Structure 1
Amino acid sequence: MLTYIARRLAIGLLMLVALSMLVFVLLRLAPGDPIDAYINPNVAMSQAEMAALRARLGFDQPLPIQYLAWLRAAVTGDLGYSIQKNGVKVLPLVLERVGPTVLLMFLALVIAIVGGIAAGIISAVQRNSATDVGCSVAAFVGISSPPFLTAILGLYVFSVVLRWSPSGGMLTPGTPFSLSDLLSHLVLPACLLSIGHAALIMRYMRASLLEVLNQDYVRTARAKGVKELWVIIKHATRNALLPVVTLIGSSIGMAVGGAIFMESVFNWPGMGLLLVNAVDTRDYPVIMGATLIIGACVILVNILTDVAYALVDPRIRVA
């Protein structure tokens, strides 16, 4: 197991380097000159001053040299300085946004996992019933709804029309911190973010459980007189969870993309909002730093998901 984890970590490190290289190149290939982001448009600069600034920032070097210089600094934890925030270091700027994003994604995934698995079990047990049809229709609608549309509609219905939830932010400005205030701001974006993932988990759980319920060992348990509820919980559900665990691991990466839309719409102070603002202002160091941290988190979660396979199904042994 330790050898497998070490091998996956090494592969994950190579993937992270490849990701940073791809983002670095794409940023440099974007229209416009990167030096423009460092120049105050209200202050006139001569060509000599611009050339000196370009040389100081390393933009006069070939692209591979620029990337290697950034990578050498990133390995030591130096991700540079934000352009738009008066020289604030990128690493602490990104890390202070990790907490809100993790909180939002964690609650959304908990809602999606609990709700999706429960709906999948109910739908499979009551196959072809009105409940099954209703759950399937709801799942198809959830899968088909893009996160940005879900966020905008949810904000309009629950915050503007019904006024059940605050329209944005993480806390109410000017009031002392309280858990109830935090939850009132958190619940709506978390529920909206969980819709698509819950729908996918429900479909996977239903299909997997239907397949398991037709296995010989389930019929044997029923023939021995085991109660149906115990058959479903002990014998069927655990063995049906393996594809769902796979989906949950991949959902972390997809939740990052959805969180970017949710944080933008609800002004949630996480990494997604930071990344959107950095792209809007062409803050290259922040874009690179946020992408690196997000990529590292996604890769780490995928490794943990692979290790969890053996815990969910004892028949699996990591090769």
Structure 2
Amino acid sequence: MGFYVARRTAVGLLMLVALSVLIFVLLRLAPGDPVDAYINPSAPLSLDELAALRERLGLNDPLPLQYFGWAAAAISGDFGYSIQSAGQPVLPLVLSRVGPTVILMASGLAIAIVVGLAAGTLSAVRRNSAMDVGLSVGSFLAISSPPFVTALVGLYVFSVQLRWAPSGGMLTPGVPFSVADLLAHLILPAFLLSLTHGALIMRYMRSSMLEVLNQDYVRTARAKGVREFWVIVKHAARNALLPVVTLIGSSIGMAIGGAIFLESVFNWPGMGLLLVNAVKARDYPVIMCATLIIGAFVIAVNLLTDLVYAAIDPRVKVG
């Protein structure tokens, strides 16, 4: 197990290096001059000042030297200074946005997992019933709806028309912090984030449960007189979870993309909103740092998913 974790960690580090090279090159190949982001349009610089600025930023060096210079500083924790935040160090700025994003993603995925597993189990147990048909239709609608449509419709219906939830932000400005206020702002974006992932989990769980319920050991448990509740929970559900665990792990990575859009729509002060604003402002240091942190998080989640899968299914060997 230790060798497996070490090997996967080494592969993850190589993937992070490849990701950093890719993002660095793409940013340099983007239209426009990187130095433009550092210039105040109301106070244009002379040609000599522009040349001095390019030299100070290292933009006159070959691209490989630029990358290695950035990488050497990044390894020591120096990701530079934010352009859009008045020269604030990038790493503390990005890390300050991790908490809100984790709160939103954890809440949305928790709702998706609980509701998806329960709905998938009920749909399989009551196959071809009205409940099964209703849950199936609802899941297909949730899966087929683009995230931006779901977010905008949810914002319009629940915040603008019904006024059941605040229309944006993480806390009410000028009001002392309270858990109730946080939950009031969190419930709508978390619910919208959970829709697609919950529907996918429900479909996978239903399919897996239908396959497991036809196995001999389930029929044997019923023939021995085991109560139906325990047949479903103890014998069927645990084995049906095996393919769903992998989906849940990949859903965490996919949820990052949904969180980025939801944070923009609901003005949620997380990494997604920071990254979108950084792209608009061409704040390259923030883009690089935020992308690497997101990549490291996804790699760590994939490793954890493999370990959980091995713990659930003793037939899986790691090493």
Normalised to the residue count of structure 1, the TM-score between the two structures is 0.99
Partner residue of 2:36? 36
Alignment of 1:81-100 (within 5 A): 81-100=81-100
- 2:121 counterpart of 1:121: yes
Partner residue of 1:51? 51
Shift of 1:229: 1.1
Partner residue of 2:237? 237
Q: Cα deviation per residue 1:259-314 (whole Å; 9 max; x = unaligned)?
A: 01100000000000000000011101001111011111111111111110122222
For 1:312 and 1:199, locate their aligned partners in 2 and report how far apart those are by CA, in whole Å.
23
Shift of 1:84: 1.2
Alignment of 1:60-79 (within 5 A): 60-79=60-79
- 2:191 counterpart of 1:181: no
What SS is found at the alignment partner of 1:174? coil
What SS is found at the alignment partner of 2:96? helix
For 2:158 and 2:315, locate their aligned partners in 1 and report how far apart those are by CA, in whole Å.
46
For 2:91 and 2:150, locate their aligned partners in 1 and report how far apart those are by CA, in whole Å.
31
Partner residue of 1:17? 17
Partner residue of 2:272? 272
Shift of 1:44: 2.7
What SS is found at the alignment partner of 1:85? coil
Partner residue of 1:256? 256
What SS is found at the alignment partner of 2:60? coil
For 1:52 and 1:3, locate their aligned partners in 2 and report how far apart those are by CA, in whole Å.
50
For 1:199 and 1:14, locate their aligned partners in 2 and report how far apart those are by CA, in whole Å.
34
Partner residue of 1:247? 247
For 2:312 and 2:147, locate their aligned partners in 1 and report how far apart those are by CA, in whole Å.
30
Shift of 1:48: 1.4
Structure 1 segments of 4 or more deviating over 4 A? none
Query: What is the letter of the counterpart of residue 104 of structure 1?
Result: L
Partner residue of 1:305? 305
Shift of 1:193: 0.3
Alignment of 1:149-168 (within 5 A): 149-168=149-168
For 1:86 and 1:238, locate their aligned partners in 2 and report how far apart those are by CA, in whole Å.
53
For 1:2 and 1:59, locate their aligned partners in 2 and report how far apart those are by CA, in whole Å.
43
For 2:71 and 2:210, locate their aligned partners in 1 and report how far apart those are by CA, in whole Å.
49
Q: Cα deviation per residue 1:51-99 (whole Å; 9 max; x = unaligned)?
A: 1110100000111111111111111111110011111000000000000
Query: What is the letter of the counterpart of residue 144 of structure 2?
Result: S
Aligned residues between the structures: 319
Q: Cα deviation per residue 1:109-158 (whole Å; 9 max; x = unaligned)?
A: 00000000000000000011111111111111111111111111000000
Shift of 1:245: 0.6
Does the CA contact (< 8 Å) of 1:151 and 1:262 recur in 2? yes
Moved more, 302-311 or 101-110: 302-311
Partner residue of 2:291? 291
- 2:215 counterpart of 1:215: yes
Unpaired runs of 5+ residues, structure 1, are none
Partner residue of 2:132? 132
Question: CA RMSD, aligned part only?
Answer: 0.8
Does the CA contact (< 8 Å) of 1:98 and 1:271 recur in 2? yes
Does the CA contact (< 8 Å) of 1:94 and 1:290 recur in 2? yes
Moved more, 139-148 or 268-277: 139-148
What SS is found at the alignment partner of 1:41? coil
Query: What is the letter of the counterpart of residue 140 of structure 2?
Result: F
Does the CA contact (< 8 Å) of 1:238 and 1:313 recur in 2? no
For 1:145 and 1:65, locate their aligned partners in 2 and report how far apart those are by CA, in whole Å.
45
What SS is found at the alignment partner of 1:258? helix
Does the CA contact (< 8 Å) of 1:147 and 1:258 recur in 2? yes
Does the CA contact (< 8 Å) of 1:242 and 1:313 recur in 2? yes
Q: Cα deviation per residue 1:198-246 (whole Å; 9 max; x = unaligned)?
A: 0000000000111111111111111111111111100110011011110
- 2:219 counterpart of 1:226: no
For 1:79 and 1:63, locate their aligned partners in 2 and report how far apart those are by CA, in whole Å.
17
